[in-house]
Structure 1
């Protein structure tokens, strides 16, 4: 779905499909250089990272393995409970592997910090992070992000995997959702 198809729902377009593709290509070149001679395990965080993971993996010119995790720290509310639950665990053993967590967006950093530590305790040789977006003004825990696409304002964004009530994930870009949609 094109951003123009829902322009009445967006107050601003942050990134077009082409801008995202260009950024992922740039990040892929860095990842290829850093993982030359290795076969990294890319771990996508469901559901939001599906688009980023798919396009990044297709852009990479190295062999890799892919797996998925789903984690939650929200429970039934909209505020983090502080307790992270694994909803879907990896099918792959990370022991001795170089792991690259692929995320759509970093808000508080709490869940991602927990996930990175969790994978390290499982014996991963290294755990790095690749995130398309980060909200610096929302970060509560400093998480080392080796591969970062864009810093964005602390706004409600949708598209390219990011949703509001499971809608807008399939937008080909990222935009700020207008308050009239969710208020």
Structure 2
């Protein structure tokens, strides 16, 4: 699927496939330097992080293992309350491991703050966060994010794993969704 397939649904393209890949490669280089000599457990948060985690894993030169979580935050509509339920837990024991959470986007930070605290309670050597996108203006909690691809305005974005009503995830770019689609 490309921009011609959804042209009327988008306001504009924020980041092209090439821009995303370049930034993911830069993040991987930073992570490789920081974790030199240590194995990383990449933890992806389903479903949105699938694309960024796959590309990040391929760009890393460090040894990694991978696992996945699915969480749901309760709230009204598109607003997260920060009350989280684990839908799919990790299969890996975190004791002594260097955990790197791979995320597609951080909005309020409420769910991710809960998730980081939950993972820290399992005895890892470290827990850090890598996100492709962060919306600083939407933050409701202060959360330390070590690796950020792009800071973006507080707009509804789709593509590269990000969805609206489970659509648009398979776009190879990130675009701003036109209001007529979600209003």
TM-score (norm 1): 0.97
Single out whichever of 50-59 and 70-79 deviates more from structure 2.
70-79
Residue equivalent to 2:92: 92
1:122-142 CA-to-partner distances (Å, cap 9, x unmatched) read 001100000000001100011
Instruction: Kindly indicate whether the alpha-carbon contact (under 8 Å) linking 2:81 and 2:110 is maintained by their aligned counterparts in 1.
Output: no
* 1:82 partnered with 2:82: yes
Query: Could you say what secondary structure the match of 2:6 adopts?
Result: helix
Residue equivalent to 2:62: 62
Gapped runs of 5+ residues in structure 1? none
Q: By how many angstroms is 1:4 displaced?
A: 2.9
Residue equivalent to 2:175: 175
Residue equivalent to 1:25: 25
Residue equivalent to 1:114: 114
Residue equivalent to 1:163: 163
Q: Which runs of 4+ in 1 moved over 4 A?
A: none
Q: How many residues align?
A: 183
Distance of 1:171 and 1:100 partners within structure 2: 25
Residue equivalent to 1:35: 35
Distance of 1:76 and 1:140 partners within structure 2: 16
1:70-95 CA-to-partner distances (Å, cap 9, x unmatched) read 11112674332331100100000001
Residue equivalent to 1:12: 12
Q: By how many angstroms is 1:182 displaced?
A: 1.3
Single out whichever of 1-10 and 39-48 deviates more from structure 2.
1-10
Distance of 1:129 and 1:118 partners within structure 2: 13
Distance of 1:23 and 1:88 partners within structure 2: 29
Residue equivalent to 1:134: 134
Instruction: Kindly indicate whether the alpha-carbon contact (under 8 Å) linking 2:51 and 2:161 is maintained by their aligned counterparts in 1.
Output: yes
Distance of 1:70 and 1:60 partners within structure 2: 23
